Structure 1
Amino acid sequence: MSNTEIIVIGSGIGGLSCAALLAHYGLDVTVCESHSIAGGAAHSFQRDGFIFDSGPSLYSGLSYSPSPNPLKQVLDAIGEPLPCINYDTWGCYLPEGNFNTSVGADQFCDILRQLRGNNAVEEWRKLQQVMKPLAEASVALPPAAIRFDWNAILTVGKFAPDLIRKSNQVLKLTGSFSNIVDEVITDPFIRHWLDLLCFLLSGLPATGTSAAEMAFMFADWYRPGVKLDYPVGGSGALVDALVRGLRKNGGKLQLNTHVEQILVKKNQAIGVKLRNGDTLTASRGVISNASVWDTLKLLPLDAVSQQWRSQKQQTPPCESFLHLHLGIDGNNLPPDLPCHHIIVNDWEKGITAEQNVILVSIPSLLDPSLAPPGKHTIHVYTPGNEPYERWSQLKRNSKAYQQQKEARSQVMWQALEHIIPDIGNRISVSLVGTPLTHERFLRRHRGSYGPAIQAGKALFPGPNTPIDGLWCCGDSTFPGIGLPAVAASGMMLANTFASVDQHLYLLKRLSL
């Protein structure tokens, strides 16, 4: 038996953000991670000298401070730098044509003028005007100021005057983004484009994505002089920074440590039982960074009411992923090739249709250290549109499984051929990941991208559970699937364990 103050189950970005900040606040924290690599869906791995990102490929708001990105706020709070490479352009392969676009407003207007004419540009400019006060409202209250107790009155108080002034806009942020789009946009291409952005942010189209998520994106992506970021060393460097912040303040990360059950005594979470039979006790509680469905699997049957269990079990999941990780010969690639590309096959199918949207990332174009000399690392994936049902009855390593991997990955190869026509002659390493891969290595229910909770119809539940001393963080607790959202969930929960003086001092140090 081993003792600590707080146990965090899972080392995803939400769990690591929470744990690193708890350690910064002086608490004794132990993170239990079942995988051999930290980082959850954002971990990186190596094959034959190639370093692959397992998940996220687009980052922003990480290269300057103060930043509205909660993940950057966590890194600044724990004092861990994250060197980044800046860029602003990515490639698009859409039904209307192929083009490069960039963050910032003006260049996209040029694209719109070419594709749709001046009326479309006027609509986009009008949307920007509508979104400007909403974007300002979306960052008026930084997540770093929030905590989940009555002391939030004190930490949020300094931001209250600005929030009151923006109260009308704040109310609009609680609804669906489509409510705003419907008032401004009639051009079909712009509506499709906004659906695409929403899908990449939340796994849902504009009808299900909260206005707050899109307002935050507008605040970040369409401001003057904006650049996108890529961490030097890839997503693994980001994970390493959070782990350093955890360990330098006495926190512990235990890899290959699979939690079998959360221990509950008299409605109090008191620790965890591990698969190897060991027990870890926690004097102040347990925090689950697992998904809502996977957290339920860890609870004793009699620990919560059947009604609460059923309600949580019915949380709708987004679909899963297919991944294609490639190491290739990089000779004679175009010198101006963008590092990221978005491919949409058919708008009319709907943005969430299976295998309709494909993303391509070639991060070694920015950071050559991710591949051997003369080579490149490529990550192609279908972002949350691969049905788990197509895989659920297959056995890993069976002939049927291998055949399905080959068949279902063809759409990714076809997308990649738009960008590198002779890709088939360049392959050094080729790996296909499926929903079963997600389920196995990330311990994700159905290999899911996260909850598909629709804005305006249901709310994310936050960190609380019916069990005293058991909290949750991660994508099942806070709107948005990307790294900023899960980092925010972990930061807000960690703040709750800090004294008000500690919390206020942190806000002052972050210049928020």
Structure 2
Amino acid sequence: MKQTDVVVIGSGVGGLSCAALLARYGFDVTVCESHSIPGGAAHGFERQGFKFDSGPSLYSGLSYSPSVNPLRQVLDAVGVDLPCVTYDTWGCCLPEGDFDAAVGAEQFCEVLGRLRGEAAVLEWRRLQQVMTPLAQAAIALPPAALRWDIGAALTIGRFAPTLAKQSVNFLKLTGPFSRIMNGVVHDPFISNWLNLLCFLLSGLPASGTNAAEVAFMFADWYRPGVALDYPIGGSGALVNALVEGLKKHGGELLLNAHVEQILVEGNKAVGVRLRDGQEIRARRAVVSNASVWDTLKLLPEGAISPTFRSQRQATPECDSFMHLHLGINGQGLPADLACHYIVVNDWELGITAPQNVVLVSIPSILDPSLAPQGKHVIHVYTPGNEPYALWQGLDRRSQEYEQQKRSRAEVMWQALERIIPDIRSRCEIQLVGTPLTHERFLRRYRGSYGPAISSASGLFPGHGTPLPGLMCCGDSTFPGIGLPAVAASGMIVANTLVPVSQHLAMLNRVGL
């Protein structure tokens, strides 16, 4: 039996952010990861010299400090660096045609002028005017200042003057973004574009995406001098930086350590039991970075009320993914190839329709170390729009499964052929991932992208539970699917477990 202060279940970015910060605060922390590789949905892996990202491909706010990105704040707090390369342009293959887009408001106005004319440009500028004060409100209170106890009065209080100025705008950020958008936007292309961005932010269209998430994006993407980032070494380097921060301050990461059950004694979470029978006891808390549905599986009967269990179990989930990981011969490719592309097949189908949106990432354009000389790595995926029901019950070793993989991967090949027409003849490595891959290797419930909770109808499950000693972090706890949201969730849990004085000292260290 092992003793520690805090056990963290899962080494996703939320769990690692929480654990690394707790270690920096002086806690004895043990992270239990079921997989042989840390990082959860953000882990990286290698095949024959090609280094692949399993998940995220678009990053911002990581290459400078102080940053509004909670993930950069975690890295600053634990004292580790993350070298990045910056860029500002990605490719778009839309029903209107193919073009390059970029962060920065002026460049998008140029695109609008070419595609839709001056009236659309004026409409976008009006939207910017509406969003400017909302964007300022969205970043007025950094998630790093939050904690779930009375001490929040002090940590949030240091931002009181700024918050007072933004009080009117805060109310406008509480509902769905469509409420703001529909009052300003009438051009169909702009409406489709904003729905696409909302889908990439939250897995939902504008009618279900929280206005604060979009305002945060406007604050980050449409400001002067903005650039996007890519960590040198890919998402694996990002995960390694968090692991470095954890170990630097005495924390421990256990791989191939599958948590079978959360131990409950005297109506309190006191540790975990691993699949091999080992018990790890937690003196202070157990923190689950597993999804809301998977956390419920770890709790013994009677540990929580049937009502709470059924409410959490009923949390709606986003659809899953298809993935295509390729290692290719890069000889003779166009010199102006972008590192990322967004492909939309048909606006009329709806932005969340199965396989309607395909994302393409060629990160070795930015970081040649990801592939052997003269080669490239490519990650193509359908982002949270692949129905799990199509795959449920299939035997992964069956011919039916292989046939369905080939069939459902075809939309990704076709999207990639719009960018590299001879892609199929260039391939040296081909890996196809399905919702069952997501479910098996990433321990994702039904292979899901995360909760599909509309801002118009509900709240995220949150960090707390009715079981003393058990807290949660990750994409089931904080609005906005993606790295900033999960990093924020981990910070909030870590902050809640320490005295206010330590929390305030951390805010000073990261320049907030």
Equivalent residue, structure 2, for 1:144: 144
1:194-343 matched pairs, under 5 angstroms: 194-343=194-343
Equivalent residue, structure 2, for 1:117: 117
Alpha-carbon distance in 2 for matches of 1:417, 1:220 = 31
How large is the RMSD of aligned CA atoms in angstroms?
A: 0.6
Equivalent residue, structure 2, for 1:69: 69
Moved more, 498-507 or 260-269: 498-507
Q: Which amino acid aligns with 2:403?
A: Q
Deviations 1:251-276 (Å, cap 9, x if unpaired)? 00000000000011121000111101
Q: Which amino acid aligns with 2:406?
A: E
Mapped contact 1:91–1:341 kept (Cα < 8 A): yes
Q: Which amino acid aligns with 1:18?
A: C
Deviations 1:236-294 (Å, cap 9, x if unpaired)? 00000000000011100000000000011121000111101111110111000000000
1:91-170 matched pairs, under 5 angstroms: 91-170=91-170
Deviations 1:194-244 (Å, cap 9, x if unpaired)? 000000000000000000000000000000010000000000000000000
Mapped contact 2:312–2:461 kept (Cα < 8 A): no
Equivalent residue, structure 2, for 1:476: 476
Q: Which amino acid aligns with 2:238?
A: L
Alpha-carbon distance in 2 for matches of 1:456, 1:49 = 46
Deviations 1:21-51 (Å, cap 9, x if unpaired)? 0000000000000000000000000011100
How far apart are 1:353 and its partner, in Å? 0.2
Alpha-carbon distance in 1 for matches of 2:492, 2:68 = 14
Mapped contact 1:174–1:456 kept (Cα < 8 A): no
Alpha-carbon distance in 2 for matches of 1:117, 1:152 = 48
Q: Which amino acid aligns with 2:391?
A: W
Q: Which amino acid aligns with 2:300?
A: P
Q: Which amino acid aligns with 1:299?
A: L
Alpha-carbon distance in 1 for matches of 2:11, 2:127 = 38
Q: Which amino acid aligns with 2:316?
A: P
Mapped contact 1:196–1:205 kept (Cα < 8 A): yes
Alpha-carbon distance in 2 for matches of 1:308, 1:156 = 30
**Any runs of at least 4 consecutive aligned residues in structure 1 with deviations exceeding 2 A, and if so which?**
none
Equivalent residue, structure 2, for 1:447: 447
Mapped contact 2:17–2:487 kept (Cα < 8 A): yes
The alignment partner of 2:418 has SS state of: helix
The alignment partner of 1:333 has SS state of: coil
> Is 1:458 equivalent to 2:461 in the alignment?
no
Alpha-carbon distance in 2 for matches of 1:394, 1:267 = 39
Q: Which amino acid aligns with 1:466?
A: P
Alpha-carbon distance in 1 for matches of 2:503, 2:312 = 31
Alpha-carbon distance in 1 for matches of 2:393, 2:238 = 35
How far apart are 1:456 and its partner, in Å? 2.5
Q: Which amino acid aligns with 1:16?
A: L
Equivalent residue, structure 1, for 2:491: 491
How far apart are 1:461 and its partner, in Å? 2.5
How far apart are 1:301 and its partner, in Å? 1.4
The alignment partner of 1:432 has SS state of: strand
TM-score by length of structure 2 reads 0.99
The alignment partner of 1:303 has SS state of: coil
Alpha-carbon distance in 1 for matches of 2:164, 2:176 = 21
Q: Which amino acid aligns with 2:77?
A: A
Q: Which amino acid aligns with 1:227?
A: A
Q: Which amino acid aligns with 2:482?
A: G
TM-score by length of structure 1 reads 0.99
Mapped contact 2:292–2:461 kept (Cα < 8 A): no
Mapped contact 2:4–2:28 kept (Cα < 8 A): yes
Q: How high is the sequence identity, in percent, across the aligned residues?
A: 70
Equivalent residue, structure 1, for 2:87: 87
Structure 1 gaps, min length 5: none
Alpha-carbon distance in 1 for matches of 2:309, 2:510 = 39
Mapped contact 1:101–1:108 kept (Cα < 8 A): yes
Alpha-carbon distance in 2 for matches of 1:424, 1:15 = 38
How far apart are 1:498 and its partner, in Å? 1.7
Deviations 1:98-128 (Å, cap 9, x if unpaired)? 1001000111111101111111101100000
Q: Which amino acid aligns with 1:393?
A: G
The alignment partner of 1:409 has SS state of: helix
